[in-house]
């Protein structure tokens, strides 16, 4: 049994960042505490650098597979910590204007990052569950962080009630899997399924269904998405961005490792369930987004639709040829690549939403009318982000969806790729409606806020970087594709 705790040095650094932020918060005068964003972001970047130094060529496990240090875990450690750092910086001006306890706010984001990287590196169901709950409890507090805001309190209550319910479902499913297999380790579950030729008894089927339902709640897959619109609308906008991007990436890291390293021998049993979830999520998310009048609710349903596309990749993780399960590396590549592209585009959209909200104090779509006259730069960034989310050429969203649809075709799920393409066309409608408001409509007469929008220097830099990433990765994705391929090789070594 390997007890080499030096494997956890990057996690120790990450936890240390949270406590350092809390400690420095006690020492700073109140008027300077919003500068803690720089300390938190720097700490998160340092933890990513430490992980790259300590784990670049490491393939080890802790406690016989309870914790796995490999290229898949390294990819998500770096990706998730950098994502959190960017969200921390995006929140800088929002926190200065709207949050009274910045130290606790940034520390909770760092603790959430610890939970996220734990989800990606867990090799056992209970370890993954504990990491997921660390993320969830941090998010429960962050969603309701503005205690004087009734809408935020309502969002927090709804999120914690449904989150606790989904956690109970997930834990019950884990107990059923343990009852059927006698283990909660991924490799032990895979060995049990292989010995039984992938045939599941009723206990295992029920456990798998409950795990899918619990994870469906966490990623806001239909019909388990009911918490997402209200929570996204009521939460502070940086927390909404965190929910929409970082927490979903962590959940899909868990899903990818679980389905490839534990459940792959039972592909025939769970693939149809994931396909049904994917279709329902794409259809419901994209159709309901059309009628939204609030930008955060629209992006919430857009996020639901994007989860449907990611589930297409999960369903395509393998195919059955001659009675044997054949893993499809392209599918795991596609899911990870789409998570990266989705992160760039969605963070660009939310960064724009934060700047606009700080200026006009509303998240209603009517506030985006005539935005091009107020700030051509913001309008350009928002338009590029929406075009990428819709999957238009020359943006990263087009490339990543192409990967997903190709993987579906390789898994003999061509009809599912067709449904996904139709859903993308539907999504283009409500994205273009926002673009129309920005570039064609005039500023509403009832809007009394100053005509020109002032963008802080940090906002200019972050918006520009996200815009460049959204376009550059659509044109030249090779560096990210290479990293994704190495990560896939760690969870699908026989593919």
SS3 sequence of the chain: CCCCHHHHHHHHHHHHHHHHHHHHHHHCCHHHHHHHHHHHHHHHHHHHHHHHHHHCCCCEEECCCCEEECHHHHHHHHHHHHHHHHHHHHCHHHHHHHCCCHHHHHHHHHHHHHHHHHHHHECEHHHHHHHHHHHHHHHHHHHCCCCCCHHHHHHHHHHHHHHHHHHHHHHHHHHHHHHHHCCCEHHHHHHHHHHCCCCCCHHHHHHHHHHHHHHHHHHCCCCCCCCHHHHHHHCCHHHHHHHHHHHHHHHHHHHHHHHHHCCHHHHHHHHHHHHHHHHHHHHHHHHHHCCCCEHHHHHHHHHHHHHHHHHHHHHCCEEEECCEEEECHHHHHHHHHHHHHHHHHHHHHHHHHHHHHHHHCCCEHHHHCCHHHHCHHHHHHHHHHHHHHHCCCCCHHHHHHHHHHHHHHHCCCHHHHHHHHHHHHHHHHHHHHHHHHHHCCCCCCCCCCCCCCCCCHHHHHHHHHHHHHHHHHHHCCHHHHHHHHHHHHHHCCCC
Structure confidence at residue 449 (pLDDT): 64
Structure confidence at residue 495 (pLDDT): 47
Structure confidence at residue 445 (pLDDT): 65
User: For 77-91, 273-287, 434-448, which range has the lowest pLDDT when averaged over its residues?
Assistant: 434-448
Nearest of 66, 67, 49 to residue 7 by alpha carbon: 67
| b/e code 320-350 from CB counts within 10 Å (16+ = b) | eeeeebebbbbbbbbbbbbbbbbbbbbbbbb
CA atoms within 13 A on the CB side of 97: 16
How far is it, in rounded angstroms, from Cα 51 to Cα 58? 10
pTM of the complete model: 0.94
* DSSP-assigned beta bridge partners for residue 406: none
Q: Alpha carbon 399 to chain centroid distance?
A: 18
- Is the model's pLDDT at 321 over the cut of 90? no
CB–CB of 136/95 below 8 Å? Answer: no
Q: Could you read off the pLDDT of 382-404 as tens digits, one per residue?
A: 999 999 999 999 999 999 999 99
Domain that holds residue 418: 5-491
Per the structure, the count of domains in the chain is 1
Q: How many CB atoms within 10 Å of residue 140?
A: 17
Q: Alpha carbon 116 to chain centroid distance?
A: 10
Which residues touch 460 (CB under 8 Å, ≥6 apart)? 377
Nearest of 477, 210, 431 to residue 306 by alpha carbon: 431
Structure confidence at residue 200 (pLDDT): 80
How far is it, in rounded angstroms, from Cα 166 to Cα 158? 12
Mean pLDDT of 429-433: 94
Structure confidence at residue 99 (pLDDT): 83
Structure confidence at residue 366 (pLDDT): 86
- Is the model's pLDDT at 2 over the cut of 70? no
CB–CB of 59/70 below 8 Å? Answer: yes
Mean pLDDT of 237-249: 93
- Is the model's pLDDT at 447 over the cut of 90? no
Q: How many CB atoms within 10 Å of residue 201?
A: 11
Q: Could you read off the pLDDT of 182-238 as tens digits, one per residue?
A: 999 999 999 999 888 767 888 999 999 999 999 999 999 988 988 999 999 989 999
* Radius of gyration for the alpha carbons in the chain, expressed in angstroms and rounded: 22
Structure confidence at residue 28 (pLDDT): 83
User: For 125-129, 152-156, 177-181, 397-401, which range has the lowest pLDDT when averaged over its residues?
Assistant: 152-156
Q: Tokens representing 27? A: 């020492």
How far is it, in rounded angstroms, from Cα 349 to Cα 347? 5
How far is it, in rounded angstroms, from Cα 169 to Cα 327? 28
Count how many residues are written for the chain. 495
Structure confidence at residue 493 (pLDDT): 61
Highest mean pLDDT among 28-42, 196-210, 288-302: 288-302
How far is it, in rounded angstroms, from Cα 155 to Cα 158? 5
CB–CB of 21/110 below 8 Å? Answer: yes
Q: Alpha carbon 463 to chain centroid distance?
A: 19
* DSSP-assigned beta bridge partners for residue 185: 124
How far is it, in rounded angstroms, from Cα 54 to Cα 454? 42
CB–CB of 250/287 below 8 Å? Answer: no
């Amino acid at each position: 049994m390997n007890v080499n705790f030096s494997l956890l040095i990057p996690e120790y650094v990450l936890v240390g960042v949270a406590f350092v932020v809390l400690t420095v918060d006690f020492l700073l005068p109140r008027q300077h505490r919003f500068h803690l964003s720089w300390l938190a972001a720097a700490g998160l970047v340092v933890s990513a650098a430490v992980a790259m130094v300590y784990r670049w060529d490491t393939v080890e496990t802790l406690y016989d597979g309870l914790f796995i240090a490999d290229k898949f875990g390294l990819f998500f450690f770096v990706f998730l910590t950098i994502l959190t750092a960017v969200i921390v910086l995006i929140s800088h001006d929002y926190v200065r204007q709207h949050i009274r306890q910045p130290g606790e706010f940034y520390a909770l984001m760092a603790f959430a990052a610890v939970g996220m990287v734990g989800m990606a590196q867990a090799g056992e169901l209970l370890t993954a569950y504990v990491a997921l709950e660390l993320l969830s409890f941090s998010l429960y507090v962050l969603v309701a962080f503005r205690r004087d805001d009734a809408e935020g309190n309502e969002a927090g209550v709804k999120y914690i009630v449904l989150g606790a319910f989904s956690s109970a479902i997930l834990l019950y499913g884990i107990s059923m899997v343990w009852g059927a297999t006698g283990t909660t380790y991924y490799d032990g579950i895979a060995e049990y399924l292989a010995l039984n030729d992938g045939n599941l008894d009723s206990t295992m089927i029920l456990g798998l269904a409950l795990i899918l339902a619990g994870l469906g709640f966490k990623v806001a897959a239909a019909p388990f998405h009911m918490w997402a619109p209200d929570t996204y609308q009521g939460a502070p906008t940086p927390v909404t961005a965190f929910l929409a991007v970082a927490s979903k990436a962590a959940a899909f890291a868990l899903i990818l490792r679980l389905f490839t390293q534990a459940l792959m021998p039972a592909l025939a049993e769970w693939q149809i369930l994931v396909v049904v979830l994917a279709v329902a999520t794409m259809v419901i998310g994209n159709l309901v987004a059309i009628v939204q009048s609030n930008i955060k609710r629209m992006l919430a349903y857009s996020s639901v639709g994007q989860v449907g596309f990611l589930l297409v990749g999960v369903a395509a993780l393998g195919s059955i040829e001659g009675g044997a399960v054949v893993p499809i590396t392209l599918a795991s590549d596609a899911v990870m690549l789409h998570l990266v592209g989705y992160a760039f585009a969605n963070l660009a959209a939310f960064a724009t939403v934060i700047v606009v909200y700080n200026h006009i104090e509303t998240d209603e779509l009517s506030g985006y009318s005539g935005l091009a006259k107020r700030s051509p730069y913001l309008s350009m960034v928002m338009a590029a982000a929406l075009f990428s989310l819709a999957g238009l050429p020359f943006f990263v969203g087009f490339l990543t969806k192409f990967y997903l649809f190709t993987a579906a075709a390789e898994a003999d799920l061509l009809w599912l790729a067709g449904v996904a393409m139709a859903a993308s066309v539907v999504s283009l409608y409500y994205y273009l409606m926002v673009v129309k408001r920005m570039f064609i409509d005039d500023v509403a007469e009832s809007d009394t806020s100053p005509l020109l929008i002032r963008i802080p220097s940090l906002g200019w830099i972050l918006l520009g970087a996200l815009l460049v990433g959204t376009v550059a990765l659509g044109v030249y994705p090779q560096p990210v594709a290479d990293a994704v391929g190495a990560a896939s090789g760690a969870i699908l070594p026989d593919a």
